[in-house]
Amino acid sequence: MSGWREPAEKTAGIPAPSEAAIEATVAYCEYVYERYGRFPAYSAPFQTVLGHQATHVDIDFYDRFYHPDALSETQRQHKNRWHDLEAQT
């Protein structure tokens, strides 16, 4: 199941990769593996990436394009709970 309301409609216009693109990708990966003995060659095959998103969720966007449960009630109430309270102090 997708979070999008109409996933087939949203993805219908995305073209599949061409055979040439697939062959080029396979050739590159084989070259790197044969040349360096591992893939990827210049970074660890497993790594931990820490990310942080500092932004306000556009609730109208999610309501328009996603299923209702894509956002939690906490996310939906963030501005009211934090920013409206700040304006009152």
Q: Is it true that the peptide bond before 7 is cis, omega within 30 degrees of 0?
A: no
Model pLDDT for residues 7-41, shown as the tens digit of each residue: 888 888 899 999 999 999 999 999 999 999 988 88
Q: pTM for the full model?
A: 0.44
Rounded Cα–Cα distance for residues 38 and 45 (Å): 8
The residues spanned by each domain of the chain are: 7-88
The one-character DSSP state at 82 is I
Q: What are the structure tokens assigned to 25, written together?
A: 């990708």
60's enclosing H/E stretch is helix 59-65
